[in-house]
Each structure stands twice: as structure tokens, then as C-alpha cells.
Amino acid sequence: MIDINQIKKLRQETGLSISECKKALQEAQGDLQKAKEILKKLGKEFAEKREAKETKQGIIESYIHPGKKIGVMIELLCESDFVARSPEFQKLAHELCLQIAAMNPTPSSLMEQPWIRDEKKTIGDLINEYIAKFGEKITVKNFVRYEI
């Protein structure tokens, strides 16, 4: 039997629906780490299914590092304006700006970089989690980092 507190904890950590968290915990026989891996795999599979979709909506996010010596702008796209306006999508855009400011990636290396907040995840994994959460394709169209 899966404990409701485990479901709540997994939902809080992943942001995915209660039903998805419950299914993953049942499949993992209550093991929280295994459930996270199952959800990560499902997120990657879902992202692959969305690959053919067009991303015509999105936002431009900017970040200026304290001291005003580093600045970042990113163009993050999704499928619908509804998702683009959501606080969670905007949070993702901000997290990506922080990543770019801290790590100075090339456009081809961003997705493979370990995420600065959780080195066990890559930026690609992070974006796939949001794709699974929103049910929409998300792409980093462009970004620029300035440094003095």
C-alpha cells in the first residue's frame, strides 16, 4: 500500500500530477528514488512524442547578475500562450537564465550541462520534466550572455 505522504512528497519534488506520482510509486513498490527515475524516464518519453509539435508561443526572460557585470536574455518557446503566461514556465525561463549566467554554455552544450541546483539532472532533464508537467513541447530558441 502506498502512503499518501509519499505521494505528496513525490508530487512536491517533481510537480507532476498526483495520479502520475501514485502510479510511479506503485510501480516502484514504494521506493521514492525508483519512482523518481520512473517519472524521469516517462518525462523523456513524453518529450520525444512532442518533438514534432511546433512551438510558436513563449517568452523572453532576462537576468542581470548582482554587480551588473553579467547579463542573460533567453527566448523560451512552447506550444500555447496559456503555458507561456504560467508562473511555472516563467520560473523555468528564470532558472535557465541563472544557469547560463553561471556556466556560460554554448548553444549546443546547454542541454547536456548539469543543472546548477541539482547536479544529478541535466538541463535537458529539467526541460523534459516541464514538458511532462505542461504536456507541451518546450524549446530554447536562442540565448545570449553578456559579460564585462
Sequence ranges of the domains in the chain: 4-49, 57-147
Q: How far apart are CA 87 and CA 113, in angstroms?
A: 24
Q: What is the pLDDT of residues 84-102, one digit of tens each?
A: 999 999 999 999 999 999 9
Residue 44 or 12, more confident: 12
- In this predicted structure, what is the pLDDT of residue 60? 98
* C-alpha span between 28 and 119 (Å, rounded): 23
State residue 140's pLDDT score: 97
Q: Report the C-alpha gap between 119 and 100 in whole angstroms.
A: 15
Question: Which pLDDT band, with edges at 50, 70 and 90, does 125 fall under?
Answer: very high
CATH superfamily of 57-147: Elongation factor Ts, dimerisation domain (3.30.479.20)
pLDDT per residue as tens digits for the range 30-60: 888 888 888 777 777 766 766 778 889 999 9
The pLDDT of residue 78 is above 70: yes
pLDDT band at 66 (very low <50, low <70, confident <90, very high): very high
More confident residue, 118 or 10: 118
Fold of the domain built from segment(s) 4-49: Helicase, Ruva Protein; domain 3 (1.10.8)
User: Distance from first CA to last CA of the chain, Å, rounded?
Assistant: 57
Q: Which pLDDT score, from 0 to 100, does residue 47 have?
A: 66
CA–CA separation, 13 vs 57, rounded Å?
27
pLDDT, averaged across the chain:
89
Paired with 139 in beta bridges are 77
Q: How far is CA 86 from CA 38, 82, 91, 94, in A?
A: 26, 7, 9, 13
